[in-house]
Amino acid sequence: MASRPTIYVLNGPNLNLLGLREPEIYGSDTLDDIAGRLEDRGRELGFAIDLRQSNHEGHLIDWLHEAEAEGARAVILNAGGFTHTSVALHDAIKAVAVPVIEVHLSNPQARESFRHTSLVARAAKGSICGFGALGYELALDAAARL
């Protein structure tokens, strides 16, 4: 049986604390909860999901390169705080042909002013923000249609 095409779901710093960290902003779903729903939806759409989290910028960059090398269908990226600061992550997204969809649980535009600039958005195919954990599923549906 042929393997299913893969969609990478990459998560940056502090997202390992979902469900515990500021639930009034980020919700009560854990990253494992989100992963389970994405794997279920991915199967329905005919895709494998490769979900990863790291608090280290270089890991996210390496995984973007890997997604490209492995022929991933798309990358869903919640870069966390690196969204607003990482020129290196921006450059890595620009360096790969695999489409990247930016996701944020909250709406950065409705928060502190330092969150209003997204270096990731400037390189990504598109962005989904403010829908909580549902944003990942919306991004998966978008990735499946690319």
CATH of 6-145, one of 3.40.50.11610, 3.40.50.9100, 3.30.70.920, 3.60.70.12: 3.40.50.9100
For the entire predicted model, the pTM comes to 0.92
Q: What is the mean pLDDT of the chain?
A: 93
Q: Which residues are catalytic?
A: 26, 104
- Residue-wise pLDDT for 93-142, tens only, equals 999 999 999 999 987 776 777 677 889 999 999 999 999 999 999 999 99
Task: Please report the pLDDT score of residue 16 as a whole number.
Answer: 95
Instruction: Write phi, then psi, for 92 (nearest 5 degrees).
Output: -65, -40
What's the sign of the alpha-carbon dihedral 91, 144, 41, 27?
positive
Report how far apart, in Å, the C-alpha atoms of 91 and of each of 25, 60, 68, 97, 120 are.
Answer: 29, 12, 14, 12, 9
Confidence of residue 21 (pLDDT cuts 50, 70, 90): confident
